Amino acid sequence: MIREMAGEAAATVPVRPGGTPGVEPGSGWSKVVDISALTKGDRIEVRRGGLVLFGGLVDEAAPELGIVWLREHTLNERRILDPAGVSIWRNLRADGS
C-alpha cells in the first residue's frame, strides 16, 4: 500500500491477518477511535480510503464539539478538523518518526 502526502509517497504497512486492528505493525501509528483521547502535541495523520490527506500536531481537541484543531505540517497553519468521513491516526513513538 502507498500513502501520499504533500506530493511525496511513503510505504505503509497494512494490518496483517492476525494483527491488531487499528495498529500498523512496526509503524508506530494507531487509529484514534475517540477524539477525547487526543492531547495537545500529539502527532496525527488524517486519512481517507487508505491515503493520508494531511498531518500535523494537535493544537486543541474539543470532543464536546466533535472537532480537533491541529497545526498542519506542510504549511504550519492552524486547521480545524471534523472527523466525520475520515480516520485519525496518532503516532505513538516518542520521537514522532
Q: Is the dihedral of CA 26, 28, 29, 31 positive or negative?
A: positive
Residues 46-91: pLDDT tens digits?
A: 999 889 999 999 999 999 999 999 999 888 899 999 999 999 999 9
Residue 55 belongs to domain with CATH number:
2.30.30
Q: Which residue range(s) make up the domain with 31? A: 2-16+27-91
Distance CA 96, CA 7 (A): 20
Structural domain contains residue 60:
yes
pLDDT at position 23: 64
Strand partners, 5: 8
pTM above 0.75, yes or no: no
pLDDT of residue 10: 37
Report residue 85 as a C-alpha cell: 468521513
Collect all residues with Cβ–Cβ distance below 8 Å to 12 and sequence separation of at least 6.
1, 2, 3, 24, 27, 50
Split into its structural domains, the chain has a count of 1
pLDDT score of 43 more than 90: yes
